[in-house]
Chain A
C-alpha cells in the first residue's frame, strides 16, 4: 500500500493494531464526580496553583498559572469546588501535588464560546495562558514553539499526523473529523512564525484523514498533505523532517536550525479552538484500546478524569488483562495503579493481556538493532559500553542522541533490554557531566 511513499531511513514495522478504534467516531465521556489535576503535567516547571480549597471554579477557569517561560497554565475541566490541593498518584509513578475538584452535579457544564476572536495579537501569551501543550505525548508547552528566538526564522511548519505508535488512533480521528480545525491551527502557526510553507505528514494507513485534509486545504496557498509510508518512529520530529524534506536535523540541534517547526495534529486543532473560540486546553482525545478492553473507543476526555472512569466507560477490563499502559506500546508507561488521572499528554490507554518476560539471551551480533535505529546508533555496542560503565566511550558513541524510541529492543532476537540500557547510559553521562 505504501510502497514508494516518502519515509525516513531505518525504523521498524510493529503490527499496527489500529483496527479496533480507527473508524470509531470520537465520543464525549460523561462527567464524573472528581477530577485530579497535577501541577506537573508538561515539560518544564510545574504550574503554580491560584485557587484554594473550597474555592468554587467555573469550567475553563484558570486554576494554576505558569511558573516561568517553560511552563504553562492549567484550567478547571468542570464547574465545581476545589476539595483538596494535595499529593496524589501521578502516571509517572510518583506522588505529585494536584488540585482536586469535585464537580457540581447541578452545573450545566457548558463552555461559553467566545467566538469571533481569531486575531493573533499577543499569541505567545495567550497560548501560554491557554495551557496548550503538545498533545503527541511529550506535553511540551506550545507557546515556546511559537516564540522565535532572536535571529531565527521559520520557513516550514510541519503538522505531525503520523501517529506511528501501534494501537493509537486519537490523532487519526481528530484529522478525519476536524480537518478544518487542524488546517486552521497550521495556518495560525505559519502566520505567527512567518513560514511560507506548511506540510501535513500523515502515514498512508489513514486514507480518510488524508482525504479530509486534502479537501480542507483546497484553495489555500502554500499547504501540502504528504502521505508517508507506514513506519515507526516516523512521528519523531527528526524522522518526520527527514521523511518530508529529506533533511537531517544536525546532531544535538533543533528543527529550528533548519527553519522548521513541527507540531502534532491534535495540538493544531487545539490551537485553533483556543485562538478562534477562546477554549483553553481542558479536554483531549484519548484512545482506550488493547485486547484487555471490552469496548475500545476514542474518547473526548476532560483533563484530570480518573483512569478508572475511562475504563468503566469502556465497560471495564477483561480479567486476562496483565498490564495497563498510558501511551503507545513502544514508548508508553506501564501503570502500577489505576487511581491516576488522564493528563494533557495522555494519548492512549492500553490494556494488554500479554507481558514479555522472555529471558535475555547472549547477543549474537546480528545487527538488527543497527538497522532499526533511526539515529544510526549502534545499540549493541552501546549496551556493552553501558554495562562496562565506559562513560568516555558512551560519549564518543553518541549515546545522548538516543531518544528512546525502543526500536532496538523491539527487534532484538536475544531480548536484550536495549532501550533500558540506553536510558541507563544517558543517566551515566548526565551524572558524569554533573560531577
Chain B
C-alpha cells in the first residue's frame, strides 16, 4: 500500500477552473459559428488574428515571464471574445494588435490570470477604439457568400483602409443618428450589421442559458444587468410615450435596447467574468445595476450610439470599492 498523506477535505467537487473555462469555450462556439455564417471567411480571419495576437503575447509574457499560462485556455478565450466585439471589415493587423494589448495590458501586467482589474478583451477593444475610432465604428452588412472578403481586412499596418462593401450603420447608430429603428426579428436572428459576435441575439441567449444552467457564472450578474437596462430604458420609454418627457427625444423601447448592439453578448460573456466582477452576492447586484445604468446613460445621452464597453470597464474599476463596502454579513453577526 502506497500511502499519501493529505489533509481534509478528502473529497472534491467536480467543477474545476479548467472545466469552467472549457464550458465558456463551448458556449462561445455557436456564437463563433453565427459570426462566420453571417460575415463569412472574413470573420474567421479576424478570429484568427485576434487569437494569434493574444496567444503570442501570452506565450511571450506568460509562459516566458511566468505571468500566465497557455494551458488554462484563457488567452484563446480572450482573443475570441475580442474578435467577436469587432466590426467585420476591420484590418487584420488591428486585430492582432488588439489581441496583444488584451493580454499584455489587460492581464499580464496585473500579474496574470485572476489578478486583472479590467476585462482583458475589453481593454484590447478600448485600445483599438481610442486608436482607430473610425475603423472600429464602420460596419458592413452580412456577406452574400462565405468567400466574400473585404480588401480592408488586408490593409497594411498604419495605412488607410478602403472598404469595398457598402457600409451600413449598426442598428444602434441608425436609431440614434437617423431615427431608423430595426425590427426585432433581424436583431434576434443576426442578419443585420454590427460587430461579429453581437448580432445573433437568440444564439447568444441560448449560450447564456446553457452556461447559467451549468452554474458556470453567478446568475445575479446577467440578471441584474438586464433588469437594470430593461427597467430604466422601459421607464424612460413609457414616460416619453405618455408625453411626460420630450417625446421627440431618443427613447427606444426596452426590447430594442436589450436586443441591439453588444449588450446581450456582453451580458453573457463579459458581465459574467468572475475575475473582473464582485464576488460578494450584494456586490454582484450593484455591479449589474451599475452596468445597466451606464449603458442607458451612454446610449441615450452620450455622444456614442453604443456604451456597453465603457459601462463594463467603468464598473470593473469600481469592483474593489464595491467589495470593500459589501462584504457578506457574518452568521450570527449584526444584520
Which residues in A have some Cβ–Cβ distance to B below 8 Å?
12, 14-15, 166, 238, 242, 248-253, 317, 319, 321-325, 327, 329-334, 336, 350, 352, 355-358, 361-368, 370-371, 374-378, 380-381, 397-398, 401, 406, 409-415, 417, 419-420
Contacts and interface: CB of A to CB of B under 8 A. Distances in A.
Contact of A364 (B275, B281, B323): B275
B330 A14 contact: no
Interface stretch (B109-117, B230-238, B305-313): B109-117
A397 B279 contact: no
B244 interface: no
B1 interface: yes
- A-B pairs, 3 with minimum CB distance: A362-B114, A367-B279, A251-B332
Contacts of B148: none
B20 interface: yes
A374 B331 CA distance: 7
- Find the residue from B13, B281, B327 having the highest chain A CB count within 10 A: B13
Contacts of A413: 13, 15-17, 19-20
Interface residues of B, number: 40
A409 B8 CA distance: 9
B63 interface: no
B7 A420 contact: yes
A419 B332 contact: no
Contacts of A336: 3, 5
Nearest to B115: A362
A372 to B, nearest CB: 9
B26 to A, nearest CB: 16
B329 interface: yes
Contacts of A355: 4, 6, 10
Contacts of A414: 16-17, 114
B69 to A, nearest CB: 9
26 contacts: A319-B1, A321-B3, A322-B1, A323-B6, A325-B10, A329-B11, A330-B9, A350-B10, A355-B10, A356-B12, A362-B113, A363-B114, A364-B20, A364-B114, A365-B277, A367-B281, A376-B329, A376-B331, A378-B327, A398-B333, A406-B8, A410-B9, A411-B13, A413-B13, A413-B17, A413-B19
A410 B112 contact: no
Given A413-B20, A415-B16, A323 B10 contact: yes
A317 B16 contact: no
Contact of A410 (B11, B18, B113): B11
Interface string B19-41: 11000000000000000000000
Given A355-B10, A363-B114, A406-B9, 15 more contacts: A238-B331, A251-B332, A321-B3, A322-B1, A323-B4, A356-B12, A357-B6, A362-B112, A364-B17, A367-B274, A370-B280, A376-B329, A378-B327, A401-B332, A410-B11
A370 B328 contact: yes
A12 B11 CA distance: 12
Contacts of A251: 330-333
Given A364-B17, A366-B279, A367-B218, A166 B332 contact: no
Contacts of A333: 7-8
Contacts of B284: 367
Nearest to A14: B11
B246 interface: no
Contact of A377 (B1, B5, B330): B330
A364 B6 CA distance: 24
Contacts of B162: none
A250 B8 contact: no
Contact of B331 (A14, A331, A401, A417): A401
A203 B194 CA distance: 54
Nearest to B329: A376
A60 B230 CA distance: 74
A322 B6 CA distance: 10
A230 to B, nearest CB: 15
B72 interface: yes
A142 to B, nearest CB: 24
A391 B317 CA distance: 27
B2 A398 contact: no
Contacts of A367: 218, 274, 279-281, 284
Contacts of B113: 362, 364
Interface string B106-128: 00000011110000000000000
Given A376-B329, A401-B331, A365 B9 contact: no
Contacts of A331: 8-9
Nearest to B2: A322
B12 A415 contact: yes
A410 B13 contact: yes
Interface string B44-67: 000000000000000000000000
A258 B144 CA distance: 73
Contact of B4 (A252, A357, A420): A357
A356 B10 contact: yes
A24 to B, nearest CB: 22
A392 to B, nearest CB: 15
B4 A329 contact: no
A23 to B, nearest CB: 22
Contacts of A12: 13
- Find the residue from B9, B11, B15 having the highest chain A CB count within 10 A: B9
Contacts of B7: 333-334, 417, 419-420
B330 A401 contact: yes
Contacts of A321: 1, 3
A324 B3 contact: yes
A332 B5 CA distance: 12
- Find the residue from B12, B19, B280 having the highest chain A CB count within 10 A: B12
Nearest to A10: B331
Given A370-B328, A378-B279, A356 B6 contact: yes
A368 B15 contact: yes
B114 to A, nearest CB: 4
